[in-house]
Amino acid sequence: MSKVQIVEVGPRDGFQSVGPFIPTETKIDLLQSIFSAGIRRVEATSFVSKSAVPQLADAEAILLAANQLQGLDAQVLIPTERQAVRAIDAGAMHLSFVLSVSDSHNYSNVRRSTSESIEEYAAIMRMMPVGARMRLNIATAFDCPYDGRVDEEVTTSVLKRILLAPLPNEIALCDTTGRVTPDHVSTLFEKCQRLFPEIDDWAFHAHDTYGLGTANTLAAWNAGVKIFDASVAGLGGCPFAPGATGNVATEDLVWMFEGMGVSTGIDFQSLLTVAHRVAALDGAQTGGRVRDAMSATCLL
């Protein structure tokens, strides 16, 4: 039976979009519920400026709780070398560094040029603890909220520069705006896998802004990708990408893949219960279709 790995990014990418502070205890309880539903890889939090993203100011406490769940692969997002040091000091062994192909978005996101972020990535790779892993997120790989569609040659040229540094364990191409279409997803992944055979694992991070999150995920799957980011209840969206209103919903991907006979290892009904809890959070901006469909009453 074919398998995919779904990386639950709700506790980071989802929660960061919520205005009212979610109590740390609630975050930990939801993290434990996600784990109980069978999810074994989670982007648990992000080590970022507490003033810029106050929702994630409790990163150390969240990582500590995540590390206590035996069998959970807890990755944490880090945008700079300074925050990488903070994450490592807190016990992170799976880092997720993000940089944008687009200088415009990179400046908006981390106040640095893409070239400066590439240099920081190389510095972080040189200081990684023994046994630690690195995922590299390539934001605006397909489209930029400021510059529009990103040419594939631009994305691959940035990757060529990045891969002069030590190789990451995995590279995720990110549809930051949700405006990409399935054909673009397929062609870029096929091109990257052909140009960079030294990378064993590729991942896809989809947004569902235009309702194409599952279609784009399927396009990546058909191109050979086996690792997909998703957020329970479709919670979240990039605060530095205007209009990117939501991640593809985890329950939508589980429904799709399991229906195709592709194993996710996730208990759908347990996940659906968590999704309803997340959707009820104060200030939550949610999406997806399966959750509502499963709750609807069919009238004939």
pLDDT at 297: 55
Whether 237 is in a domain gets the answer: yes
Identify the domain containing residue 208 by its residue range: 5-293
pLDDT at 299: 45
How many domains are contained in the chain? Answer: 1
Given a cut of 50, the residues of the chain with pLDDT beneath it are 241, 244, 298-300
Whether 133 is in a domain gets the answer: yes
pLDDT (tens digit, 9 = 90+) per residue, 189-221? 999 999 999 999 999 999 999 999 999 999 999
Unique residue bearing structure tokens 């940089």: 99
Whether 154 is in a domain gets the answer: yes
Q: Which of 144, 174, 192, 238 is catalytic?
A: 238
Unique residue bearing structure tokens 């219960």: 273
pLDDT at 296: 74
pLDDT (tens digit, 9 = 90+) per residue, 21-73? 999 999 999 999 999 999 999 999 999 999 999 999 999 999 999 999 999 99
Whether 24 is in a domain gets the answer: yes
Whether 215 is in a domain gets the answer: yes
**What's the whole-model pTM score?**
0.95
pLDDT at 85: 97
Is position 174 annotated as part of the catalytic site?
no
Give the whole-angstrom CA distance, residue 64 versus residue 46.
Answer: 13
pLDDT at 300: 46
pLDDT at 295: 83
Whether 299 is in a domain gets the answer: no
Instruction: Indicate which CATH number applies to the domain containing 192.
Output: 3.20.20.70
